[in-house]
C-alpha cells in the first residue's frame, strides 16, 4: 500500500470523478430494494471514488483504502458526521436522527462528541463488559426454551425480542417481562420506522410530516422518555451501587470540571444505547443464522465445537477463547452483513486525496459492506468462509482463505463492521461478546432452516436488516 496523498500538486477537478448515468424507474426500484448492493456495483463499475447524485449536495462513495484510512482516522478532524442539511444557513448541518436520539454518541459532533466519548469510554471497559456475559447466556437460554421443534416462525422477530431483552437487562436491569421493557417494545417500530429516512436528503421534511408512522413513533418515544427519566430519578435517589449501564453512567465525572452527566445527557445516551443495541444485534444474529442455515457443513463444524467446549451447559466468558470457530462464524457474518453498513461524513473544508478534489460540505460515504467485498483483500468475497478469521490455524495450501483475514500486511480498515477511529462504535466489544454468547447458547440445542428465497430486500438506512424478516423452521438437535 502507498500513503494517501492529501495535498497533491494538481488534484483532478470534481467533475472528473465518475458519475453513474441516468437511472431508469426499473433500476430505481432495484436500488431501493438493496442500496448496499447498488453501491457495490458502483464501485465495481466506476472505481474507488464515485460521485453519487443526492439532491443538491455532492456525495462521494470512497472505496480507496488509503483514502478511507485518512478520512476515518488520520484526518478525521477535517470531517464530521453532521451530513444532512437541517436549516437555510450555509452551516446548518445535522441529522434527522438527532430529533429522535438527541445528542448521543451516534449523532453528536465536534468537541461535544469528543467530550462525551471521553467520559463514557470507561463504562465500556472490557472487564466491566465481561460481567454481563452471564446475562447474555441466560437471556438467550430463555429464548431458546420458547422454540418448538418443527415450528415455522419469523426468526428476525425472535432475535429482535432476544436483543431487546439483552439490552434492557444490561442497560436498565429490567427483565423482558417487566412493564418498562413492554413499554419499550411497543414504542419502537420494526425496521426502523422514521429512522429509515436518515440517509434521505429529505429526511428532515419527511420526519415532520403528519404521517401515521411518525405520529406512532413520537408517541412511542414519549413513552420511552417517561420510562428513562423515571429510571434516572429512581437511581439518583438510590444508594448508587447498581451495576447496570445506566447506574454506571450516573457515576461518570468530568475530570476537568467535576461535573456529572445531566439528566438530558443521560437520556440521550440511554436512548442511543437502547436503539443501537437491539437494532444491530437482532440483524446480525438473523443474518448469521441465515448463513448457517444455507451452509450445513459450516453449521456442523460450529455444533462440533460447541459440543466439545460446552457439553450441555451454558457458555461463560471464560469459554470465549475456546469458542474460536463460533467467533469466526459471527465475524464472517458481520463481514458479509455489517450492521453499520455505511459511515457518512461531511467535509468541513476542501479536501484533496490521491488526485481527487472533494469540495467543502460534500458528503463522503464509506461503506463497510462495499469494502468487505473488495476482491483485492477479500478473495471470493461473496463466499461465507469463517475460516478466514482463524488467526492461529496451521497453513493449508489447499485452503488459501484459512486465516486470511488476520494475515499481516492487510489494510487496517479492510474489516470494520463497527466502524473505526474516534467514531468507532463504543460498544463494539459488548456487541461481539453478546453475539458470540447468544450464538453458542442457541446452537446448543437448535438449528434453523430458512424457508423460501434468500432475503433480497433489505432495510438499510439505520442498520442492515432483512426487510420483512426471515422465515425459518426450528429443528431440535438430536
Return the DSSP state at 34: -
CA atoms within 13 A on the CB side of 352: 11
d(CA 76, CA 182): 40
Mark whether 280 is an active-site residue. yes
Spatial contact of 368 and 341, defined as CB atoms under 8 Å apart: yes
241: buried, middle or exposed (CB in 10 Å: 19+, 13-18, 0-12)? exposed
Sequence-ordered list of residues with C-beta below 8 angstroms from that of 133, at least 6 positions apart, any chain: 315, 316, 317, 320, 433, 437
> Exactly one of 60, 79, 147, 418 is catalytic; which is it?
418
The helix or strand, by DSSP H or E, that contains position 120, with its residue range, turns out to be helix 110-120
Mark whether 462 is an active-site residue. no
The residue among 223, 165, 217 whose CA lies nearest residue 193 is 217
Spatial contact of 231 and 246, defined as CB atoms under 8 Å apart: yes
> Exactly one of 288, 425, 441, 462 is catalytic; which is it?
425
The three cell numbers of residue 261 are 452527566
DSSP 302-345: HHHHHHHHHTTSPP-GGGGGG-HHHHHHHHHHHHHS-SS--EEE
Residues in the chain: 478
Mark whether 425 is an active-site residue. yes
To which residue does cell 453519487 refer? 52
Return the DSSP state at 71: I
User: From the centroid of its chain, how far is CA 394?
Assistant: 32
d(CA 195, CA 21): 29
> Exactly one of 280, 288, 326, 459 is catalytic; which is it?
280
Q: At what angle do helices 428-442 and 133-144 cross, to 10 degrees?
A: 40
Q: Are strands 93-94 and 49-54 parallel, antiparallel or unpaired?
A: unpaired
To which residue does cell 429443528 refer? 475
Distances (CA, A) of 430 to 72, 133, 191, 438: 22, 9, 22, 12
Return the bridge partners of 366, or none: 343
Positions marked active-site? 280, 418, 425
Amino acid at each position: 500500500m502507498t500513503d494517501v496523498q492529501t495535498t497533491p500538486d494538481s488534484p483532478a477537478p470534481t467533475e472528473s470523478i465518475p458519475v453513474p448515468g441516468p437511472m431508469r424507474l426499473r433500476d430505481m426500484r432495484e436500488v431501493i430494494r438493496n442500496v448496499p448492493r447498488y453501491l457495490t456495483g458502483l464501485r465495481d463499475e466506476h472505481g474507488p471514488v464515485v460521485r453519487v447524485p443526492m439532491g443538491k449536495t455532492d456525495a462521494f462513495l470512497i472505496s480507496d483504502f488509503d483514502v478511507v484510512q485518512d478520512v476515518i482516522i488520520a484526518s478525521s478532524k477535517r470531517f464530521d458526521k453532521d451530513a444532512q442539511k437541517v436549516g437555510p444557513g450555509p452551516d446548518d448541518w445535522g441529522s434527522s436522527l438527532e430529533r429522535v436520539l438527541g445528542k448521543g454518541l451516534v449523532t453528536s459532533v465536534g468537541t461535544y462528541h469528543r467530550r462525551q466519548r471521553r467520559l463514557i469510554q470507561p463504562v465500556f471497559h472490557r472487564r466491566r463488559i465481561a460481567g454481563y456475559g452471564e446475562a447474555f447466556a441466560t437471556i438467550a437460554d430463555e429464548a431458546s426454551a420458547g422454540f418448538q421443534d418443527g415450528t415455522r416462525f419469523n426468526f428476525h422477530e425472535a432475535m429482535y425480542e432476544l436483543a431487546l431483552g439483552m439490552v434492557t437487562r444490561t442497560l436498565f436491569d429490567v427483565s423482558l417481562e417487566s412493564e418498562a421493557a413492554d413499554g419499550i417494545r411497543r414504542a419502537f417500530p420494526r425496521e426502523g420506522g422514521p429512522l429509515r429516512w436518515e440517509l434521505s436528503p429529505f429526511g428532515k421534511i419527511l420526519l415532520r410530516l403528519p404521517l401515521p408512522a411518525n405520529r406512532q413513533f413520537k408517541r412511542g418515544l414519549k413513552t420511552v422518555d417517561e420510562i428513562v427519566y423515571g429510571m434516572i430519578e429512581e437511581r439518583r435517589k438510590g444508594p448508587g451501587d447498581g451495576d447496570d449501564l445506566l447506574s454506571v453512567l450516573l457515576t461518570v465525572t468530568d475530570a476537568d470540571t467535576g461535573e456529572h452527566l445531566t439528566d438530558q445527557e443521560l437520556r440521550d445516551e440511554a436512548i442511543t444505547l437502547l436503539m443501537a443495541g437491539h437494532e444491530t444485534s437482532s440483524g446480525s444474529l438473523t443474518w448469521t443464522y441465515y448463513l448457517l442455515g444455507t451452509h450445513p457443513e459450516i453449521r456442523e463444524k460450529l455444533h462440533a465445537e460447541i459440543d466439545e467446549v460446552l457439553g450441555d451447559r451454558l457458555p461463560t466468558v471464560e469459554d470465549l477463547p475456546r469458542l474460536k470457530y463460533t467467533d469466526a462464524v459471527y465475524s464472517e457474518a458481520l463481514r458479509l452483513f455489517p450492521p453499520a453498513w455505511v459511515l457518512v461524513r461531511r467535509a468541513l473544508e476542501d479536501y484533496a486525496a490521491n488526485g481527487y478534489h472533494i469540495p467543502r460540505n460534500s458528503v463522503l460515504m464509506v461503506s463497510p459492506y462495499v469494502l468487505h467485498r473488495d476482491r483485492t483483500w477479500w478473495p471470493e468475497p461473496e463466499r461465507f468462509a469463517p475460516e478466514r478469521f482463524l488467526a492461529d490455524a496451521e497453513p493449508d495450501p489447499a485452503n488459501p482463505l484459512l486465516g486470511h483475514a488476520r494475515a499481516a500486511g492487510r489494510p487496517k480498515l479492510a474489516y470494520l463492521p463497527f466502524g473505526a477511529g474516534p467514531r468507532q462504535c463504543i460498544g463494539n466489544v459488548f456487541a461481539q461478546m453478546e453475539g458470540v454468547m447468544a450464538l453458542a447458547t442457541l446452537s446448543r440445542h437448535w438449528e434453523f432452516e430458512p424457508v423460501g428465497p434468500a432475503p433480497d430486500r433489505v432495510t438499510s438506512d439505520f442498520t442492515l436488516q432483512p426487510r420483512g424478516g426471515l422465515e425459518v423452521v426450528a429443528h431440535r438437535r438430536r
